[in-house]
Structure 1
């Protein structure tokens, strides 16, 4: 079992069903999972077991003991990961499109974690056996840079920087539509979609989320943009760009279907910057667009002409 997580209910959590509230607090938890945990006694309120339809109240203390996925045997695999920087404390890896970050049901192997375990001697243990060293994630079909912690001290430092919004995270995205203004900021809270539980959406009681964008190039029916994250919510860029009317090209969840041949959203995490956990010096790394993304842009640029 993982370490217990204690959550004190505040006004921002509302007074809804406990499964709904917890799935909003941690978007990695599905309501189905939480309901099972409630039945198993892995979720208690004020030291007492409650039913899945329990409605939380202000000042309730919820304790969650998230079970380890013990059936998953994490095997080191030679996946030839592109590690662009590594020292005793941190590394920066360029995740390819199509690779899941860590093992989960349905993806027990072939993940970034499987590859890291083959290539890296030490990884932080804070996130348990399933997510060693992982301090943040990008989606399966998003390519680009991730920082990874090699020890617990580095892990805590990098997470604190994410919380403080001091990490630089810059993405390149191809979106549908002609954005007329050169830059903008999207400030809209993100939470789980109550109708489609696997999707995120803009909701009044969602988590604070801010994305800054600027136009890099326009191609008639498409626009290439740079997106700078101030926060890091699940699917943030994908949800925010859809919200303002310019969904990512190729996005199977939030965009129009079968408009380009790209097998997933056209999104690349090209720049990451952070203060080194040991000496506080600022490090920044940039990776160019993968060749398939470059080819997509060239194809659209040619079709426009």
Structure 2
């Protein structure tokens, strides 16, 4: 018989997924069967496979030790080391389940082929490790939203499996409101909405607006055509300066490079965004984009102040504006 106590960070995981994490080398169908037959119990009682575990729950698996050892081959059992990983993060809000951080421009949200160690999420892990809050090798806190390397602002981190699931569901159902500020080229006189579909070119790391072709009679869609995705961007000017406009953007969908592509498509590329038609501005040669506000579906709202570089550009373009807090 195998006994395990659910840790705080594991809370919110569904029973069948938790057991699957414990025994990745065991057939999923057999896991469902064990739960149905009462060979997996929580606090001594039978539960449905969809039961959401809580911190402190005692999980009992009625199985021989040798069989469990074989079934658990491949389970996450390597201890992650955080020596040398930076822990300095700008915490906007934190409780037992949720962490909201203000990511600086220039820092990746997640590791990629160019950087594995110093990213937003590795700093978060090191920060929580130092606090003694990484209590499970089966679950690591993760981000619910991602910002590009040169985009600054709010990133949501689910510290528990349950919170991460709820955040992801809210984003998928578009129950979470995300607001950005940026500086675009030209004078934007009025607000509006862009609904142009987008396609990705992964090889070139670019997104482009889909141009609606005139459909020829009898023509069929090519099977190898890039996937077109719906995208909606609301924008409204906050203040105009010398050849530039400070704009607030509400992101309805969350496609890669959506804001940059949509604003370029209406003739107002982002200041410094060379990849999408913008011109360099002094030493600024990347998009000036800041995720400044997020409103959760439970009524909580978080904001992040403008970074120093953003404020400097506003002064140089003659824009005098302060975000509400």
Of 250, 256, 261 in structure 2, the residue corresponding to residue 239 of structure 1 is 261
Which digits, 9 at most, give the CA deviation of each residue in 1:100-151, with x for residues without a partner? 001111111210012101112249989x87xx41211011111100111011
Whether the aligned pair in 2 keeps the contact of 1:123 and 1:150 (CA below 8 Å) is no
Of 251, 258, 270 in structure 2, the residue corresponding to residue 229 of structure 1 is 251
Which digits, 9 at most, give the CA deviation of each residue in 1:24-64, with x for residues without a partner? xxxxxxxxxxxxxxxxxxxxxxxxxxxxxxxxxxxxxxxxx
Which digits, 9 at most, give the CA deviation of each residue in 1:201-233, with x for residues without a partner? 112652111010000011242111000011111
1:162 aligns to what?
171
**Unaligned stretches of 5+ in structure 2?**
1-20, 25-79, 213-226, 320-325
Of 272, 279, 297 in structure 1, the residue corresponding to residue 314 of structure 2 is 297
Measured after TM superposition, the shift of residue 263 of structure 1 is 3.8
2:205 aligns to what?
198
SS at structure 2 position matched to 1:81: coil
TM-score, scaled to structure 2: 0.63
Question: Aligned pair in 2 of structure 1 residues 176, 102: CA closer, same or farther (>3 Å)?
Answer: same
Whether the aligned pair in 2 keeps the contact of 1:187 and 1:210 (CA below 8 Å) is yes
Between the aligned partners of 1:94 and 1:259, the Cα distance in structure 2 is: 24
How well do the aligned residues superpose, as a CA RMSD in angstroms? 2.4
Of 290, 295, 305 in structure 2, the residue corresponding to residue 288 of structure 1 is 305
The yes-or-no answer on 1:90 pairing with 2:98 is yes
Between the aligned partners of 2:264 and 2:312, the Cα distance in structure 1 is: 24
Question: Aligned pair in 2 of structure 1 residues 124, 134: CA closer, same or farther (>3 Å)?
Answer: farther
Between the aligned partners of 1:81 and 1:187, the Cα distance in structure 2 is: 35
Whether the aligned pair in 2 keeps the contact of 1:125 and 1:152 (CA below 8 Å) is no
**Unaligned stretches of 5+ in structure 1?**
4-72, 276-280
Whether the aligned pair in 1 keeps the contact of 2:273 and 2:280 (CA below 8 Å) is no
Number of aligned positions between the proteins: 222
TM-score, scaled to structure 1: 0.67
Between the aligned partners of 2:272 and 2:285, the Cα distance in structure 1 is: 6
1:148 aligns to what?
157
Question: Aligned pair in 2 of structure 1 residues 143, 125: CA closer, same or farther (>3 Å)?
Answer: farther
Between the aligned partners of 1:297 and 1:243, the Cα distance in structure 2 is: 23
